[in-house]
Each structure stands twice: as C-alpha cells, then as structure tokens.
Amino acid sequence: MLAVVSVLSGCGTATSVQPTPTGPGILTLQNATPPAPGGEVGEASTEFDDAADLKVWKKLSTTEKDVDRTVKYDVNKTAKGAMYLEPNTSAWFDGFRGPFVYQELAGDVLMHARVKVTGKSTVRPKRLFSLGGLMARQPGSYAKPNWVSVTTGTGEKAGQVEAKYTKDGSSKPTETPVKDGWVDLALGRVGRVFVALYKENGGKWKVAQRYPSTLPDVLQWGVTAYTDWDSYSLLKKDATKGNAKQVKGVPDLKLTVDFVRFLRPELPEYADPLNNASVSDEVLIKSMTPAGA
C-alpha cells in the first residue's frame, strides 16, 4: 500500500480521498473475489449438528480464569442443530466482561454466522444492551481490553445491530436498526483492517463499520452474548468491581447460533479498504462475505 490513510483510531470512519497514481488503486467489483473456504481456518467451522461440536469451543471464563456469566450453554440440545447461549447479567463494554466462547485463529479471517436473539419470553430483549453475536478478541487483554464485535438485539433501543471497536478498554459502539428474527453477521480482518457486516433475513448484506486495527496476528474468534446493563447501577463506572463477582439482575436474552463458518478473505495490495474511493461498500461486501450467502 503506497499511501498513508488518515483515519481516527477506533472511530470506524473510512475516508473518501480519491486514489492517485502514487496512492491506492481502485478495486472494481469485477476484480473482487469472495473469501476462500476450506484450509486450516475452514476446519474451525461448526454447523452445530452434534453435541460433540462443543468440544472445539473454549470458554473464556475457563481459559483466563473469570466469573462464569452463563446461565445455559449447549449444542444441539436446547435448540436442535444450533448452539444455544443464555447469559447472566453481564456486559462487554470498556473494561466490563461477559460470556465468550471462541477458537484461536491466526492471520486474515472472515467469520460468518446466522444468529437469532430474543428475550426470555418476548421477541426482543427488554433490558438495555442485551446483545449477541460475534467477537474477535486479543488474548490475555483483561488489563487493557482489545476486541471488535458485531452483535444484534437490544442496545440503546430494541431491534439493533451494534458494531463495536474497543481499544485499550475504551469502547466505540454504533447502532443500526434491524428487523426481528434471524440475522446473518460477518466479522473479518484483512491485514490490519476489521470489517463488520450484517444481513437481515431475506435482505442484502450491508457494511456496519470499517475499523483500523493493531491487534496481534493470533486472536480469539467466537460467539458472545450479554444482557441487562441496567442492573449494573452504580457499578457502571467501576469495571473492576463489576467484574469481581456475578452482578444480581434481571437477565433477558436467548441467543441461538445456526452455524459459525470461517474463511480466508484476500484483497489485492493496491486496494485500501479504509478508503471508500478505493474499495466501495459494494466491493467490500463481495470481498468479505461468502459467495452465495
């Protein structure tokens, strides 16, 4: 890449500076290619048709010694042919932590999942910031949390897709309205660029955010769900106390995951995915979503 792109760190704002002979080139839709399935990363894909699939997923609360904030977690049991994750009162925001199950993968990765989030007895969770979806996290980053996520559920309002970039414990979320029901989510890295995408049931893929990133090569790629930010009350300004023990509250989220598939995305060196003029949303979607999905 021949040009230096000016992007505010963590804001997720892409530039629109026109490419020049000495800068990045334009990637056309014709020359863009979907992520490649298979290979080492593809072997991590899980369809959740068998309870044994649970064995390949690690629980963050176990691997990094933390409070287990899950109420229920299983595969092909509560929901046939799916992962089911029901969180206790929890949060992934700034330094606060919630449930997370993952696999460690290296390099450029595209993670694609089909998910459904509901309340315990309602179509939409009633408690604020009750969200479920995908996250890529820097291992061992409790002291200075670093992760990128794309989730759906109830944020500041019900019926949202939330994209969030957390750098050194400071979270920058954005929300977009979405229809109820199943939602396809995709979270991918190409080089040091992260892209969060989503697709409503029966709809078309849309770009939620593009983020610059300095995260390490090996990350924890997986599924998260959290709920009931309301119940943190005065602890909302103290993540250390909030993480010390299970907060009592009124959790209200059920997450069903139909599948999680991993692919290898690739962009030509001349393309700058942080520059809309170099890589448009239409081209980025083709490059960062599975063919035919």
Judge whether 49 lies within some domain. yes
Average pLDDT, the chain: 93
Residues 174-206 have pLDDT tens digits of 999 999 999 999 999 998 899 999 999 999 999
**Residue-number span of the structural domain to which 171 is assigned:** 39-269
Question: Within a domain: residue 77?
Answer: yes
Q: Is residue 28 part of a domain?
A: no
Residue 51 inside a domain? The answer is: yes
Q: In this predicted model, what pLDDT tens digit does every residue of 22-54 receive, in sequence order?
A: 567 899 999 999 999 988 899 999 999 999 999
pLDDT one-digit tens code per residue, 87-122: 999 999 999 999 999 999 999 999 999 999 999 999
Degrees, nearest 5: CA angle 253-256-259: 150
How many CB atoms lie under 10 A from the CB of residue 54? Answer: 17
With respect to residue 146, please indicate whether it lies within any of the assigned structural domains.
Answer: yes
CATH code, domain carrying 166: 2.60.120.200
C-alpha closest to that of 134 among 184, 179, 182, 81: 184
Domains identified in the chain, total number: 1
* Residues 247-276, mean pLDDT to the nearest whole number: 96
Asked if the structure places residue 24 within a domain, the reply is no
Q: 3-class SS at 248?
A: coil
- Residue 197 domain-assigned (yes or no): yes
Q: Which two tokens stand for residue 26?
A: 């334009």
Q: Where on the phi/psi map is residue 212: left (φ > 0), alpha (ψ -120 to 50), or beta?
A: beta
Is 214 domain-assigned?
A: yes
